[in-house]
Amino acid sequence: MSGKSPHHIDDSILGQILNSVDAYIYTKDIAGKYTYANQAVLELFDKSLAEIIGCDDSHFFDLALSAELTENDQQVIKKAIRVEGEEYNFIKNIQAVRIFKTVKKPLFDAQGNVSGMCGVSTDITSEKKLQEQVNEQAYLLDTILNNIDAHIYMKNNERTFMYVNSKVAELFGESAKNIIGKKDYDVLPQAIADHFYQSDKEVFASNQKQVIDETVIDENNIAHHYISTKIPFSQPGKPPALIGFSSDVTELYNLKEQFKKLANTDSLTNLYNRRFFTKQAHKEFQRAKRYSQVMTLISVDIDHFKMINDKYGHPAGDKVLIDVSACLSQNLRESDVLARIGGEEFSILLPETSLEDAKILAERIRVEQSELVISGKWQGDIKLTVSIGMSSLTENDVTFDALFSRTDKALYLAKTSGRNQVYTL
Ligand SMILES: Nc1nc2c(ncn2[C@@H]2O[C@H](COP(=O)(O)OP(=O)(O)OP(=O)(O)O)[C@@H](O)[C@H]2O)c(=O)[nH]1
């Protein structure tokens, strides 16, 4: 200070400048007592310059709660070095912590010895708080995105990944860092990447949210089913992008398929049941009518099945039903519908099959069934015959039931005229 009063600075042009700066500027002597403070400091402490000069920081700060302040001051004075850092200081006047970005430098006397220090502090409390909030939110978002049971990603219309969560990284077998910035076809097999991009394109074209069922066949030929929601996401000055959420519903899908199959299947023979047959038959009937196609229905019924049950027991009867079903299945085409529609009665719907062609099939079935020999844990082999009724669709049939009743009548006539025969109506 070269013998001049600290008040002197305050009156000078330099003092006016220091007072108009939006920062706290101060000097302290070697004992930590203030030798100068600018207007900002006076306002912060709510004191006049005279009340501050000669006092140390214990008058203005709770030093127990302002560790960096004392630490930084000591470093400057003892080591004669410049210190830059953040200080969390508890200010007595406002009874609150303020965060400062502070630069402190030693001051020297004419002999070159440290005579005190000069400090410039900027209040960064609100920026810090904002930064902390942003960090907290980023952490929260990151925790949610990486722990949620869904694949989440952001991709732009140039097919570049801008974000992937850890589920996606796990699926692609790469770290998220390695995926971000790459194109989808650089991290996925081309066919799969193109498949995904098809629905991406719809999002970009419509600029609307899309909900899509996606199926991917992996390298082991296993199908994975996803439900994907893709939302357009645009930022000014950047290419259009989308955010995708895909949930793996493979297990659910397989379960649904299994239930569907169970609901349509006879558990003993594994053939379709009456419920499925009726539904399918009505569909085929409509189609045959619309396109004026031929269609034939065959009903097969095991003869004297009650006697088989009575003689060999119920388990033997079950085995007969299983073997008869297997034998029936062997003779059919993919488009034919075979079902067990009652105890020992089976129906076969033959789309696009004339009565003449069906007769050949029915006769073959009758012969093959009569040649079946069913053995098991019972005395002797079981032999059986079947009666078959059949009929083709006519122009007068308004519903499938008309064809079904006629076939049933034909079966009845096959039974009443001696069994082990095919009867056509
Ligand atoms: N083992 C076994 N028997 C069954 C099953 N469903 C129905 N049945 C039996 O099938 C028999 C059918 O007997 P009926 O309707 O009198 O016919 P049928 O003895 O074959 O005589 P026809 O048809 O006139 O030649 C009954 O005894 C039923 O108990 C089954 O799932 N398993």
Shared domain for 274 and 420, answered yes or no, is: yes
Q: How far is the CA of 364 from the centre of ligand 1 (A)?
A: 23
Mean pLDDT of the chain: 91
Burial tier of 236 (Cβ tally within 10 Å: 0-12, 13-18, 19+)? exposed
Give me ligand 1 centre to Cα 360, in Å. Answer: 27
- ∠34-118-79 over CA atoms, to 5°? 105
CB 92 within 8 A of CB 63: no
Kind and range of the H or E run holding 256: helix 250-264
Which residue, of 252, 283, 299, is where some domain finishes? Answer: 252
Q: Count CA within 13 A, CB hemisphere, residue 143.
A: 6
Nearest-5° Cα angle at 373, 367 to 375: 160
> Is any atom of ligand 1 closer than 6 Å to the C-beta of 302?
yes
Domain check: are 316 and 370 in the same one?
Answer: yes
Q: Cα(first)–Cα(last) distance of the chain, in Å?
A: 126
- In this prediction, residue 387 carries a pLDDT of 95
- What's the CA gap between 107 and 126, in Å, rounded? 31
Catalytic residue, chosen from 202, 344, 371, 395, is 344
Q: CA–CA separation, 78 vs 252, rounded Å?
A: 71
Of 194, 196, 166, whose CA–CA distance to 180 is shortest? 166
Instruction: State the average pLDDT over residues 84-107.
Output: 96
**Residue among 268, 341, 344, 423 whose CB has most ligand 1 atoms within 8 A, to mutate:** 344
pLDDT of residue 407: 95
Amino acid residing at 197: Y
- Domain membership flag for residue 418: yes
Within a domain: 257? no
pLDDT reading at 7 higher than 60: no
* 53 & 159 share domain: no
Single-letter amino acid code for the residue at 386? V
- 93 and 157 in a common domain: no
Q: Residue 234: what pLDDT?
A: 87
3-state secondary structure of 189: coil
Same structural domain, 220 and 278? no
More confident call, 294 vs 1: 294
Range of the domain at 27: 6-125
Decide if 133 is inside a domain.
no
> In Å, how far are 67, 96, 218, 316 from 191, measured between CA atoms?
61, 61, 11, 52
Any catalytic annotation for residue 344? yes
Which of 113, 120, 121, 91 is closest to 29 using CA atoms?
113
What is the residue with the minimal CA distance to atom 6 of ligand 1?
343
CA angle 388, 390, 394 (to 5 degrees): 175
Atom 4 (ligand 1) nearest CA = 343
Residues 248, 273 share a domain: no
If asked whether residues 342 and 318 sit together in one domain, one would say yes
Percentage of the chain exceeding pLDDT 90: 72
- Here the tokens at position 414 are 């096959």
Pair 296, 203 in one domain: no
Decide if pLDDT at 349 tops 70.
Answer: yes
| CATH code, domain carrying 185 | 3.30.450.20
| Distance (Å) from CA 146 to ligand 1 centroid | 60
> Does 237 fall in a domain?
yes
**With a threshold of 0.90, does the pTM exceed it?**
no
CATH number, domain of 319, equals 3.30.70.270
Q: What is the ipTM of this complex?
A: 0.94
Span 35-79, pLDDT tens digits: 999 999 999 999 999 999 999 999 999 999 999 999 999 999 999
Domain membership flag for residue 132: no
Q: How many Å lie between the centroid of ligand 1 and the Cα of residue 324?
A: 13
Q: Are residues 54 and 188 in the same domain?
A: no
3 state DSSP class of 265: strand
The finding on whether 310 has its CB within 6 A of some atom of ligand 1 is no
DSSP state of 221: S
Domain boundary residue, one of 110, 125, 140: 125
Same domain flag for 243 and 276? no
What percent of the chain has a predicted confidence (pLDDT) above 70? 97
Give the count of domains, the chain.
3
Is 259 among the domain residues? no
- The predicted-structure confidence for 228-238, as pLDDT tens digits, reads as follows 999 999 888 88
Quick check: 219 pLDDT over 90? no
SS3 84: strand
Ligand 1, atom 15: nearest CA belongs to which residue? 306
For residue 193, the model assigns a pLDDT of 87
Is residue 335 a part of any domain in this protein? Answer: yes
294 and 315 assigned to the same domain: yes
Please tell me whether residue 353 adopts helix, strand or coil conformation: coil
Task: Supply the residue whose CA is at minimum distance from atom 8 of ligand 1.
Answer: 343
Do residues 332 and 357 both lie within one domain?
yes
How far is C-alpha 74 from the geometric centre of its chain's CA atoms?
Answer: 56
- 396 CA → ligand 1 middle, Å: 33
From the number of C-beta atoms within 10 Å of its C-beta (0-12, 13-18, 19+), residue 407 rates as buried
CB atoms within 10 A of CB 326: 13
Q: Place 6 in a pLDDT band, splitting at 50, 70 and 90.
A: low
> For residue 220, what pLDDT is reported?
83
318 lines ligand 1 (CB under 6 A): yes
Read off the tokens for 346.
């089976």
Q: How far is the CA of 305 from the centre of ligand 1 (A)?
A: 5
Higher pLDDT, 61 or 312: 61
Q: Are the beta carbons of 68 and 119 closer than 8 angstroms?
A: no
101 pairs with which residues across the strands?
A: 86, 122
Q: Taking 80 as the threshold, does the pLDDT of residue 264 lie above it?
A: yes
Q: Which residue out of 269, 305, 309 has the highest number of ligand 1 atoms within 8 Å of its CB and is therefore the one to mutate? A: 305
